[in-house]
Structure 1
Amino acid sequence: MIRLFIATLLLINGFGSLAYGDEKTPDDSFVIGTFSYPPLLHKGKDGAFSGTLGETVKLICEKAALNCRFKILPLKRVYQELRGGKVDALVTLDLGQFPKCCLISKWRSPWAAGLFSTLPANEIPKIEKEIYGKKLIVVNGMRSPYSFLPEMDKLAKEGKIKLYVSKHVSSSANMFAKGRAELLWGGEDFTWHLKKIAPHMAYNFRPLLKKNVVLWARKEHQGILDKFDEAVAQLRTEQTIGEDGKLHPDLMAQTYQEPAS
């Protein structure tokens, strides 16, 4: 069964294509917004949409016979486009942030975030007060840090923490590797970036948030979301998607592309 799916995936042409910026898409397409977040979501070396979660969602679309097109945009903008109806759906965390416009998929993939630090593991903050007086790097537009520090902006303004806001995940990892701050907020997948940037760097990680990555679909696309969820159930039964919500490793090895440089 796995070999059959590998062959099918390698022949896919129309499913999971990538739309750019304000490019118009076919009327029958289901436009899924996303942002660049390697190695989970990104544009591959040949220009196609890829990533561990990207390849998974592409297969679900193919199984459901949906003409999915993916639109990679900056994080803040893609959130706005979902709320404004310029994209039909969005792959992102379930933080309960879109209840008015959207429905949530039954597909989910566990994700953890927390603090990376050059401090000893037992000295990494566990509560807000323990971070006072320290330097912290966050990625612009990332909402998960506020689950740990709801008043993060206020704390920075009051001088209780020194806050550095980077434009991208890669730049935040660069800042951390260069010693700009002793703390970096990020997902567990930030290790992928740190290994590339500073393979010999010593650091610790304290997970402080556990959530699921899901597909948020606009309410007017209930029927499409139902097809998507039905495909997820079938792929789980076939063991093509695992408990982690990602493709079987054999499939992933055949389809995953490294990010474009």
Structure 2
Amino acid sequence: MLLASLCLAGHAQAQPARDTLIVGYVDVPPMAFRGEDGRAQGEFIELTRRVAEEAGYDLDFRFLPVSRAYHYLRTGGIDIWPGVTDVPALENEVLESFVSPFPFQLSAWAMNGSSPVRHFNDLHNKTLILISGYTYGGLAARLESPPGITVTEAPNHQAAVAMLERGRGDYLLDYQDPVRVVLQNSSVRGIREYPVRVRNAAWIFSLANPRSSELRDEFDDAYLRLADRGEAPPPRALSEGFLLPGLSD
């Protein structure tokens, strides 16, 4: 019995301790949100857990406002953000995963009877509802500069849809998935959607972590193994995606 105990103890000591990575996430249901129990939940969150497990890491999730998540990525307060590519505020501060599990669409939402949004000029002389704290990948700052565009803010996605229904804005600028969740669970009807920008969801690694390049490679490889086994969506080809005409001018 003593010999067996010593063997078990030796085996336990031989198991290397797993590193814990700090993951910042923001409120974008159903992809990522904080559940009633305080735990991180959502499709992107669960996929992040599976990839990290495959790569051999434990995770410590931190629920953050968007601006705080960006700050912590720049300063090393978090290691990873399950987010989107091409964020101007993070240029030269992060590494993006090469794999992208799904697209992330930003849309303009309007009540029936409103003019369609087919060009950036269609937003001129209109009132836009934005989600407070969202940068929309740098688009929020640009929307506040052209003359004729009025910006008003809502504290969350549900309040934003309610504001649109009550006529407190001509259009709501918000991501597709959160608005669809609100509409599925509300009595609001007669809202139309117009695509504004389609981006790539990805894992964003802080360059303040000296192992950022290694972590990215390990996450990419782990994801590809999961995809090969049918345990993750097939990796998408990264692309510039759709962009509302006139938005890049």
Q: Kindly provide the CA deviation profile for residues 76-124 of structure 1, in whole angstroms up to 9, marking residues without a partner as x.
A: 1111111111111112111243342221112312111120101447x22
- Determine which structure has more spread, i.e. the larger CA radius of gyration: 2
Q: Distance in 2 between matches of 1:118 and 1:107?
A: 36
Task: Identify the residue that residue 106 of structure 1 maps to in structure 2.
Answer: 98
Name the SS of the counterpart of 2:99 in structure 1: strand
Q: Counterparts of 1:4-83 in structure 2 under 5 Å?
A: 28-83=19-74
Contact (CA 8 Å) 2:86, 2:137: kept in 1 or not? no
| 3-state secondary structure, aligned to 1:180 | coil
How much has 1:240 moved relative to structure 2?
1.1
Quick one: distance in 2 between partners of 1:242 and 1:139?
29
Matched ranges for 1:131-150 at <5 A: 131-144=123-136, 146-147=138-139
The change in CA–CA distance for 1:78 and 1:243 in structure 2 (over 3 A counts) is: same
Q: Which of 182, 196, 207 is 1:208 aligned to? A: 196
- In structure 2, which of residues 140, 152, 160 is the aligned counterpart of residue 172 of structure 1? 160
Q: CA–CA distance in 2 between the matches of 1:176 and 1:67?
A: 41
Equivalent position SS for 1:205: strand
- Provide the secondary structure at the position in 2 that maps to 1:60: helix
2:108 corresponds in structure 1 to 115
**Aligned positions, number:** 214
Offset at 1:146?
Answer: 5.0
Q: Deviations over 1:171-218 (max 9, x none)?
A: 32232233311210111111111332x334111001121101111112
Separation in structure 2 between the aligned mates of residue 120 and residue 191 of structure 1, nearest angstrom: 20
Partner in structure 2 of residue 188 of structure 1: 176
* SS of the residue 2:97 aligns to: strand
What CA distance in whole angstroms lies between the structure 2 residues aligned with 1:199 and 1:242? 32
- Structure 1: segments with no counterpart, 5+ residues: 1-25, 246-261
- TM-score w.r.t. the length of structure 2 is 0.77
Q: In structure 2, what is the Cα distance between the partners aligned to 1:62 and 1:27?
A: 10
The secondary structure found in structure 2 opposite 1:211 is strand
* AA of the residue aligned to 1:195: Q
Give structure 2 stretches of 5+ with no counterpart: 1-16, 237-249
Q: So what's the TM-score if we normalise by structure 1?
A: 0.74
Name the aligned partner's letter for residue 222 of structure 1: S
CA RMSD of aligned residues (A): 2.3
